[in-house]
């Protein structure tokens, strides 16, 4: 009885309350979720084990469609058991929230850190995960993300010089295998694990700690090679070029990179996803608190203002600036047909300006080179995970779910900035209160949107 009381007191500590709130919201979401008959899971995946053995099905998929064999092995099973899926998916969301908190480790105010992380997760619009149905989308995106961040908790402990229990490594290995089976998450994990590997080896010069990360880096490299060599990925690419983007073969490397960058930046500043706006707002407020010059403050406001205009006043902007809006909406990449027209360069220049303003603002805000490099590389890895979609003919078919990893790196960067600048918030309580109120408003809006998305059939 005493042990239960002790456990209850521990779980009801102030720092754990955000997770109880998050668990309750996710329970409501998952209770409301339904799978319509037209979703990928209902019309395709749930029926495959009726026609094939698991081995035969995965063999067919490997040669004809996809390298995600680990993911699809889980997908074809949970598609047949909706209640089991909801339980597992709820667990994955909780794992994601708790793992993000563990990555940050001990902080000055752990309760605040956890509220920030939970709030940013809930601001991410749930509707962006429902396009192909909840089961197919979450097993391919949320589950790799949650398990990948879980693996990174071990990497974070190694970087902090903490001991990682042997039994945790046993859990990290299968988690890494599942997470890296998704192409985008594989790239993200390779980027983060690779940078951490080099940092420990050449900066910290801790050879023994490098050996701890080596198995995860090797798994990531093996999965990356498996993805490249899979004949099904090549067959799928050819089929989707024919179905969705017939002129794709005419694009060179620059065209594909341009396509990925332009499409990614357009979504960030005009899709209505509040996570990017929240990040630019936090960054701008910190610049205002640290820098007193007009130019610095003006530069920090450019991403905020552009995002606010196109997110909150998009219809009004289109009405009063129709020609400019049409250029941004068209969103063409620069090619052999339009390179002579000046307006063709406008989207690229605008998006590049927003990105440069963010990087300059980060440099002004960062308290050290380590802080700046952490934010820079994290955002770069997240951006690359979406820009690389320009090298796939499914860039438009995959819809907004391919932005998940980019938005998570944005959320982590925003949380890190809030945590690292605790002194500024304490010295300027009104600014901290303003950011808190803005975040609360965005959270309320996002929760209503999430409830509507979860209940839609």
* DSSP state letters, 62-113: HHHT-S-HHHHHHHHHHTT-HHHHHHHHHHHHHHHHHHHHHHH-S-TTHHHH
Q: Into how many domains does the chain fold? A: 1
Residue 262 lies inside a defined structural domain of this protein: yes
Both tokens assigned to 363? 């440099």
Both tokens assigned to 132? 């192909």
Q: Identify the pLDDT of residue 316.
A: 78
Residue 378 near residue 411 (C-beta atoms within 8 A): no
Rounded Cα distance, 110 and 97, in Å = 13
Residue 313 lies inside a defined structural domain of this protein: yes
- Using CA atoms, how far residue 349 sits from 4, 258, 309, 353, in Å, is 60, 11, 17, 6
Residue 301 lies inside a defined structural domain of this protein: yes
Residue 181 lies inside a defined structural domain of this protein: no
Q: Identify the pLDDT of residue 335.
A: 61
Per-position DSSP letters for 361-401, written without gaps between them: HHHHH-SSHHHHHHHHHHHHHHHHHHHGGGGSTTTTTSGGG
Residues 6+ apart with CB under 8 A from 20: none
To which residue do tokens 């945590």 refer? 419
Q: Identify the pLDDT of residue 13.
A: 80
Q: What is the pTM of this model?
A: 0.93
Report which DSSP code applies to 201.
I
Residue 353 lies inside a defined structural domain of this protein: yes
Residue 332 lies inside a defined structural domain of this protein: yes
Rounded Cα distance, 374 and 376, in Å = 6
Residue 225 lies inside a defined structural domain of this protein: no
CA angle 56, 171, 169 (to 5 degrees): 125
Residue 16 near residue 101 (C-beta atoms within 8 A): no
Per-position DSSP letters for 260-279, written without gaps between them: HHHHHHHHHHHS--HHHHHH
Sign of the C-alpha dihedral, residues 131, 133, 134, 135? negative
Full residue range of the structural domain in which residue 254 is found: 246-420
Rounded Cα distance, 74 and 164, in Å = 28
Residue 233 lies inside a defined structural domain of this protein: no
pLDDT in tens, the chain (457 residues): 666 666 566 667 889 999 999 999 999 999 999 888 888 888 899 999 999 999 999 999 999 989 999 999 999 999 999 999 999 999 999 999 999 999 999 888 899 999 999 999 999 988 888 777 899 999 999 999 999 999 999 999 998 888 888 899 899 999 999 999 999 999 999 999 999 988 888 887 777 778 888 899 999 999 999 999 999 988 888 887 777 666 777 777 887 888 889 889 988 988 888 999 999 999 999 999 999 999 999 999 999 999 998 888 777 777 777 777 776 676 666 665 666 666 677 888 889 999 999 999 999 999 889 899 999 999 999 999 998 888 777 776 666 888 999 999 999 999 999 999 988 898 999 999 999 999 999 999 999 999 999 887 5
């Amino acid at each position: 009885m005493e042990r239960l009381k002790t456990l209850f007191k521990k779980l009801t500590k102030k720092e754990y309350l955000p997770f109880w709130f998050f668990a309750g919201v996710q329970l409501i979401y998952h209770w409301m979720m339904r799978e319509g008959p037209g979703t990928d899971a209902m019309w395709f995946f749930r029926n495959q084990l009726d026609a094939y053995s698991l081995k035969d099905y995965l063999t067919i998929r490997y040669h004809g469609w996809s390298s995600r064999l680990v993911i699809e092995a889980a997908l074809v099973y949970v598609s047949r058991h909706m209640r089991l899926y909801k339980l597992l998916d709820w667990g994955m969301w909780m794992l994601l929230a708790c793992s993000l908190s563990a990555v940050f480790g001990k902080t000055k105010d752990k309760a605040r850190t956890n509220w920030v992380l939970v709030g940013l997760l809930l601001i991410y619009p749930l509707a962006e995960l429902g396009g192909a149905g909840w089961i197919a989308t979450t097993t391919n995106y949320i589950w790799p993300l949650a398990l990948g961040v879980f693996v990174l908790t071990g990497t974070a402990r190694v970087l902090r010089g903490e001991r990682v229990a042997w039994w945790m490594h046993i859990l990290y290995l299968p988690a890494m295998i599942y997470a890296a089976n998704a192409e985008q998450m594989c790239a993200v994990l390779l980027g983060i694990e690779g940078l951490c590997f080099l940092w420990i080896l050449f900066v910290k010069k801790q050879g023994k700690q490098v050996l701890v990360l080596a198995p995860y880096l090797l798994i990531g490299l093996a999965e990356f090679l498996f993805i490249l060599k899979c004949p099904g990925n090549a067959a799928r690419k050819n089929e989707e070029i024919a179905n969705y983007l017939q002129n794709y073969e005419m694009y060179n490397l620059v065209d594909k990179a341009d396509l990925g960058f332009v499409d990614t930046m357009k979504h960030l500043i005009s899709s209505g996803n509040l996570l990017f706006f929240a990040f630019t707002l936090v960054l701008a407020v910190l610049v205002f608190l640290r820098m007193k010059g007009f130019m610095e403050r003006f530069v920090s406001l450019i991403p905020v203002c552009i995002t606010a205009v196109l997110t909150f006043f998009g219809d009004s902007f289109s009405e009063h600036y129709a020609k400019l809006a049409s250029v941004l909406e068209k969103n063409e990449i620069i090619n052999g047909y339009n390179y002579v027209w000046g307006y063709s360069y406008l989207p690229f220049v605008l998006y590049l300006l927003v990105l440069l303003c963010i990087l300059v603002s980060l440099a002004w805000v960062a308290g050290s080179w380590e802080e700046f490099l952490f934010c820079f590389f994290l955002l770069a890895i997240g951006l690359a995970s979406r820009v690389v979609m320009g090298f796939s003919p499914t860039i438009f078919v995959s819809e907004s779910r391919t932005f998940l990893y980019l938005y998570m790196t944005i959320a982590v960067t925003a949380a890190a900035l809030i945590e690292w600048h605790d002194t500024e918030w304490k010295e300027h309580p009104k600014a901290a209160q303003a950011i808190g109120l803005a975040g609360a408003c965005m959270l309320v809006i996002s929760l209503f949107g999430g409830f509507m998305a979860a209940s839609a059939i």
